[in-house]
Amino acid sequence: MPGFEVFGDEEKKEINDVLETGVLFRYEFAAQRKEVYKVLQFERNFAEYCGTGFAQAVTSGTAALKVALAALGVGPGDEVITQGFTFVATWEAILDIGAIPVFTEVDETLNMDPDDLKLKITDKTRCIIPVHMLGAMAHIEKIVEIANEHNIPVLEDTAQAAGGRINGKHLGTFGQCGTFSFDSVKTMTTGEGGMVITNDEKMWRTMSEYHDHGHDHAVNPFGRGGEGRSFIGFNYRMMELQGAMGIAQLAKLDAMIAAQKTHKARLRDAASAIPGVKFRKLMDEDGDTATFFAFILESREQCQKVSRVLIEEGVPAINFSENTWHFYPSWEHLHRGSAVAASGYPFNAENGKRRIVYDPDVLPKSADLMERALVYPIAIKMNENQLENICNALKKAAGV
Ligand SMILES: *Cc1c(COP(=O)(O)O)cnc(C)c1O
């Protein structure tokens, strides 16, 4: 992370193609655009890269979640299960579609705990969203198996793990659909942007229409103004400049991951010296995108000691139990039910009563893990000096 480290002539060329036509919009302007369709090309390249049938570009990873949930038919009265360690966007999208987020514990993968998932499924569950956090895979095969037993679709939030795989099969292709983010801190970036991939053509058509106000995109003599519609939609359209960036960045993704893997291996080696250290469980080492390096200590006290040394050495690691954006107990606005709507929706029902109450203490297994885990983000370009500093600090921390 992140892809802006390797912006170069490739991105400039793609952007320039768009500027030369002046067409910033993915639809229409056929004569003026001279066959330049960057968003469409990006979608095709992305679907092909992931080995799936269809890709729908949208404005963000959050929009991707919303559009996918809409196309799966999720709405008010439904429950959607996700994990308690994720970015707030995952459950914001669930609330935005009108459904209720239900949170599972995470296990040593730092992703959805399949055993806890089984306990959280009810007759209202309409979708399961495992998240491939910190660049690496959830127990996705197991999760899809459990979901299939209950006939519930799986949406993989792959925002942080583009290019990740299990035995060569891309993350995002195990469930009904997978969503991606290309925001400014993700491995490949278009500034803002997102994508949904699926093998289901009908779902893709629904997303294509929904993300563009319901436009059916059928060819007709009156162009865009003459298009029909089967349902109401919204506007989550990606623009051509983002599509152009996406084409150039996607072409570099495997090289970015390879660089990150080299750096991560160095840090992992150094951290191995810490007594009792464990590494986050990876279903497939080769399929890791190495965007982050996570290691787990034996106790909270040991974790704090190690963390203190790393801070003293000037190379602090992240402890996600202290980070307010990614871990359930820290989401005070969720626990309080703080919304902008005067009615208190989505936390309050029409009669003003609370629809849902969240207790910050219901995920003890996750809390225990997160309090013992330290994480380094891995850059694509890390110079010898930076790597040496972290490795030396980790070795020093091994002695405390
Ligand atoms: C970044 C992220 C998102 C949201 O993506 P945006 O493009 O920033 O809207 C969703 N889920 C996870 C896990 C993320 O890390």
Choose the residue to mutate in 90, 182, 196, 375 for probing ligand 1, maximizing ligand atoms within 8 Å of C-beta.
90
Q: How many domains does the chain have?
A: 2
Question: Tens of pLDDT along 2-15?
Answer: 788 999 999 999 99
Residue 1: what pLDDT? 65
Q: Are residues 182 and 259 in the same domain?
A: no
Single pTM value for the model: 0.98
Q: Are residues 79 and 8 in the same domain?
A: yes
Host domain of residue 313: 253-397
| Residue with CA closest to ligand 1 atom 3 | 61
Q: What angle do CA 26, 31, 33 make, to 5 degrees?
A: 40
Q: Are residues 37 and 98 in the same domain?
A: yes
Considering 252, 276, 303, which residue would you say is the last residue of a domain?
Answer: 252
Question: Tens of pLDDT along 323-360?
Answer: 889 999 999 999 999 999 999 999 999 888 999 999 99
Query: Which stretches of the chain score pLDDT less than 70?
Result: 1
Give the CATH number for residue 335: 3.90.1150.10
Considering 219, 252, 285, which residue would you say is the last residue of a domain?
Answer: 252
Expressed in angstroms and rounded, the spacing between residue 353 Cα and the centre of ligand 1 is 30
Expressed in angstroms and rounded, the spacing between residue 216 Cα and the centre of ligand 1 is 28
Q: Are residues 210 and 122 in the same domain?
A: yes
